[in-house]
Structure 1
């Protein structure tokens, strides 16, 4: 086939594929119908999950978000192949112009309320284009077009798998998970009371035998007690509290949990109710923890788990 004819075909494919992508960016998924339901512009300038790709186990039961993540990368690979076929260009020039184009499209999406400006999409789309450019450079090295196309496809798959692996490593590095359980009585008690958080063998609540593992808080012989602990400005932690009224006691009392002066939990006993319960409280940051008990409410296995990076 004549070189001029090849160029026309490639140009036509590029125009068609560009219109296809623009349709998905601005019109697909009922975007136009949802415009009236959007109250304002959405701009997300800080990337937070662009490298979160599904693992091999996730692919056995894929979700819609798994396909979206791969689609944001794979859908833009052809641009990295088609554009260099049409115009001689360096990678730096190509990827710079591509990123500027994606930034413009994302801005138009946000301003027309047909989507949002999402830096995660910019990075994923640009990664796809970079893969395509790399596959083109490695693949188109002979005069045989079919061999070039086959080689480009193979290199595209290899580079995609390589990027998948890199993103997977980054995901492990920058993803936080719950750390080990820390019993609250292991912390410094600012009240100086050595009897707080003592452990006892068992409780019977709602006919169930409860076996505390870490600590038990109650106020035998008192009307009210406040326990105060210092958490040293820890960030992103989950506080766990098990509570209930033992069967042999009257159903009256309350629990109040405050952190740095803000109340996060307030529970009052219901008349005649003897059932064990648990609360899980997320604390963005915590310095002073105060737990106030009244009546016969009893706490056990009180502690927290801090969100930490896997490499910590």
Structure 2
């Protein structure tokens, strides 16, 4: 792969990462669709792992399948781009445990800001799902990178 191609890929990844972060900020803090337009006078939080996931599963008929799937898969899918683009931009992040830590820290930062601003809620299940999404995004990067290297080497 030429130096010019690498630069183009990095620049495109950077632009997409910035757009992704803008959408993530909107969804996490501003979106009316997710009730982010209301600041509550009390703190909402969950420190018990899998409590909200289990609750959404048990009451999926009440909350609706869309809300159930959005809660479960939305959090995973929302963090896949982060796990995919960061190793492209920073070669130091090409180890799975680095992306695990970075994704966890990003998710924790978002959850803490939601707790302190009382927009949304602090949920340990979101930390689990978001971090899983970041790792799945990294896994996608890893597979594509392996295939690309094999293709270029052949």
Fold conserved (TM > 0.5)?
yes
**Cα pair 1:76 1:129 within 8 Å, conserved:** yes
- Corresponding residue for residue 235 of structure 1: none
Matched, 1:135 2:137: no
Question: Matches of residues 249-264 of structure 1 in structure 2 within 5 Å?
Answer: none
**1:180-219 deviation digits (Å, cap 9, x = unpaired):** xxxxxxxxxxxxxxxxxxxxxxxxxxxxxxxxxxxxxxxx
Q: 1:51 to 1:18 in 2, by over 3 A?
A: farther
The number of residue pairs the alignment matches comes to 137
Deviation (angstroms), 1:39? 2.3
Indicate which of 95, 99, 102 corresponds to 1:97.
Answer: 102
SS at 2:36's partner residue?
helix
Q: Partners of 1:25 and 1:69 in 2: how far apart?
A: 15
- Corresponding residue for residue 81 of structure 2: 78
SS at 1:40's partner residue?
coil
Q: 1:4 to 1:133 in 2, by over 3 A?
A: same
Runs of 4+ in 1 over 4 A off after TM superposition: 51-54
What's the TM-score, normalizing by structure 1?
0.40
Flag the structure with larger Rg.
Answer: 1
**Cα pair 1:53 1:70 within 8 Å, conserved:** no
**1:26-61 deviation digits (Å, cap 9, x = unpaired):** 0002523x21xx22122221121447786xxx8xx8
Mind listing any 5+ residue stretches in structure 1 that lack a counterpart?
A: 148-312
**1:275-298 deviation digits (Å, cap 9, x = unpaired):** xxxxxxxxxxxxxxxxxxxxxxxx
- Corresponding residue for residue 280 of structure 1: none
**Cα pair 1:42 1:117 within 8 Å, conserved:** yes
Q: Which structure dedicates a bigger proportion of its chain to strand? A: 1
Deviation (angstroms), 1:100? 1.5
Matched, 1:66 2:69: yes
Q: Which structure dedicates a bigger proportion of its chain to helix? A: 2
Mind listing any 5+ residue stretches in structure 2 that lack a counterpart?
A: none
- Corresponding residue for residue 119 of structure 1: 124
Q: 1:76 to 1:70 in 2, by over 3 A?
A: same
- Corresponding residue for residue 46 of structure 2: 44
Matched, 1:18 2:29: no
**Cα pair 2:75 2:126 within 8 Å, conserved:** yes
Question: Matches of residues 216-231 of structure 1 in structure 2 within 5 Å?
Answer: none
**Cα pair 2:99 2:134 within 8 Å, conserved:** no
SS at 1:103's partner residue?
helix
What's the TM-score, normalizing by structure 2?
0.78
**Cα pair 1:14 1:82 within 8 Å, conserved:** yes
